[in-house]
Amino acid sequence: MEHQLIFVFHCPFCNWSITLPRHSPLGTYGGHEYRSSALWPITFLCAARQQASECSSEIVQSEQLQPHVEIETPAALWQIVGACGQENCRGRSAVYTWYLSHASGDAVVNLALKLNPRIRCSGSHDLTWQTKNMEATKFDF
């Protein structure tokens, strides 16, 4: 029986194992290879430690898929996209987090607002996060 691989990275703050979806804007995988997209490096928000960090695709590694074990609080990879709230700025950016899979998009947006990650926008200022300009998308495995 062939063992199936998954691709993960570990949160730089809490060391949680973040399973990457097989197909997402971050990349794809099948077999023994992960093909990252041009979106890396990403800003990752650690919900447990409430900190943000830039992560490169070099931290992605393969692991053996473990037989299904019921998880008490399943989580998923979320992407939060926001348009800058500063006047006359058209900058957009995305951040990623590992959060409850049954959470609402609004709850994930509120987490990002609370953590307020510092992201450079247009080279001249930091992105100004505003709820009305943000949307959260969950990536299923």
**DSSP assignment of 7-64, as one string?**
EEEE-TTT--EEEPPSEETTEEEETTEEEE-TT-SEEEEETTTTEEEEE-GGG-EEEE
Nearest to residue 11, comparing CAs of 118, 101, 98?
Answer: 98
Neighbour count for residue 7 (Cβ, 10 Å): 22
Burial pattern 83-111, b for ≥16 Cβ within 10 A else e, equals: bbbbeeeebebbbbbbbeeebeeeebbeb
- Mind listing the pLDDT tens digit for each residue in 9-20? 999 999 998 999
In angstroms, what is the C-alpha Rg of the chain?
16
Residue spans of the domains in the chain: they are 5-139
- Please give the pLDDT value at position 69: 62
pTM: 0.88
> Six-digit token pair at 39?
């979106």
Residues 134, 36: Cα–Cα separation, whole Å: 24
What's the rounded Cα separation, in Å, for the pair 38 and 106?
27
Residue 21 CA to residue 106 CA, distance in Å, equals 21
Q: For every one of its 141 residues, what pLDDT tens digit does the chain have, with 9 covering 90 and above?
A: 455 888 999 999 999 989 999 999 999 998 789 999 999 999 999 998 989 999 999 999 998 877 766 666 688 999 999 999 988 888 889 999 999 999 999 999 999 999 988 888 876 888 999 999 999 999 987
